[in-house]
Structure 1
Amino acid sequence: MKKQLVLAVAAGLGIACMGAQAYEQGDIIFRGGIATVAPSGDSDPIELPTDPPTVLPGGVDVDDGTAISLMGVWMMSDNWGVELLAATPFEHDIDLADLPVAAGSTKHLPPTVSIQWYPRGGMQGWQPYLGLGVNYTTFFSEKVDNELGAVLGDLLDVTSAKLSLDDSVGLAAQAGVDIPLNDKWALNLGVWYIDIGTTADIDVTTGSGANATVSFDVDIDPWVYNVGVAYKF
């Protein structure tokens, strides 16, 4: 019975692929799904302006974030397309790597434009693709966590702290596949590696009214994993 079920499913997929239209010049493909940004980079050490300086060699860790992905592709030819990647905002928690302390959080948007190659363009069935492009990541809604605020208050007599992250421009590489369900709809699986680097600034004010800035570089360099659907117009 199990063998018959597997054969039936395989046959159904085969029929769907045979009936699926090929990607051709002029086609517009819309993809939507759920994407997870999984940072793989590291952070510079953080040097706090104490006397003597307090150094946190591990810097910070940036946690994963998940959001809704939105992608549009225009096929320039049967084998080449241009994709614009957009998404709803990703939100990430930030932790100190050396201490069990929550440092803060941020949101970001990562619009990316890529040139894609479809080796099976013009042919029916599965549509794998590779892409290379440019990413622009903008950060906003940065916040310092109360736990980090308490640590800074003990070490530096800090009364207020504000976090800001510089925007980033970098290369992005991707691989994916559209698995056709019929002549319009397909299941989409995709993965990106994106070069994202930023400088974090923590502006603090002490009880005496003095101001100071703690700055350090963070290489986020995430892998991005997407599962969704594709629709061909």
Structure 2
Amino acid sequence: MQKSLLSAAALALVVVAPLAQAHSEGDIILRAGAITVNPKADSSHVKVDRGSLGGTDLGGKATMSSDTQLGLNFAYMITDHVGIELLAATPFEHDVKLKNTGLPQANGKLGSLKHLPPTLSVVYYPLDPKSVFQPYVGAGINYTWIYDEHVGSRASAEGFDHFRASNSWGVAWQVGADYMLTDNIMINAQARYLDIDTHAYVNNSAVGDGTRAKVNVDVDPFVYMVGLGYKF
């Protein structure tokens, strides 16, 4: 009988223990992992907006490469179901290419740029706070700071210089899930959509007279992150 009671007690602990592995009001959650930014990069035609060729539509479009960096999430649970979350990361770097323009010398890699995408969101966890599996949805605002733009060697040889792109504000949407491994440690996966729009400019000194090309780019990337989290 004693063995039966001990076995029942042990089983009860196994069943009940995960119930303690919950997100609750006042928790601070730190997550870290690999984060990938995959730009959709739907752009306008490339147009000349300054110089003797001003107003010329060169056609074509701009594209951007993907990049993976270290992603960080900092979250604070306002209630058992609602939290505030800040997304940060080490700087992303993207190659920028032009294709199918009316100037063959403009096609190919134009250059590269770096950006940081801090994103502040409100997140909602719909399940019982005691569940070890915690899916969530969120919405917020993103600020994308673009810097360190530079023209590639091939484009520079064609006379392109002074490449630059504007910063961006936009909305952000996300879905994700935590799975608690212990009371404090979790596995996390998340996907986001960021509304990022930028205006990119590049001069061409080979043509002279202040000739500058412009393209509007809806970067609008999907962002994916997988990693581990720790709850304080």
Query: What TM-score range do you get, normalising by the shorter chain?
Result: 0.7 to 0.9
- The equivalent residue for 2:215 is 216
RMSD: 2.3
In the aligned structure 1, how far is the partner of 2:57 from the partner of 2:155?
15
- The equivalent residue for 2:97 is 95
- The equivalent residue for 2:165 is 165
- The equivalent residue for 1:131 is 138
Alignment partner for residue 76 of structure 1, among 59, 78, 92? 78
- How far the C-alpha of 1:55 sits from its partner, in A, is 4.2
In the aligned structure 2, how far is the partner of 1:16 from the partner of 1:67?
38
1:1-41 deviation line (CA, Å, top 9, x unaligned): xxxxxxxxxxxxx9798265111000000011110000113
Alignment partner for residue 148 of structure 1, among 145, 155, 158? 155
TM-score, with length taken from structure 2: 0.84
- The equivalent residue for 1:64 is 66
CA 1:139–1:96 in 2, change beyond 3 Å: closer, same or farther?
same
In the aligned structure 2, how far is the partner of 1:144 from the partner of 1:83?
35
Q: Contact between 2:62 and 2:215, CA under 8 Å: does it hold in 1?
A: no
- The equivalent residue for 2:197 is 197
Instruction: Structure 2: state its 5+ residue gaps.
Output: 1-13
Percent identity for Structure 1 against Structure 2:
38
SS at match of 1:124: coil
Decide which structure has the larger Cα Rg and report it: 2
- The equivalent residue for 1:8 is none
TM-score, with length taken from structure 1: 0.83
- The equivalent residue for 2:4 is none
1:63-89 deviation line (CA, Å, top 9, x unaligned): 101111011000000000000111000
Q: Which moved more, 1:41-50 or 1:70-79?
A: 41-50
Instruction: Structure 1: state its 5+ residue gaps.
Output: 1-13
- How far the C-alpha of 1:201 sits from its partner, in A, is 1.2
Q: Contact between 1:17 and 1:124, CA under 8 Å: does it hold in 2?
A: no
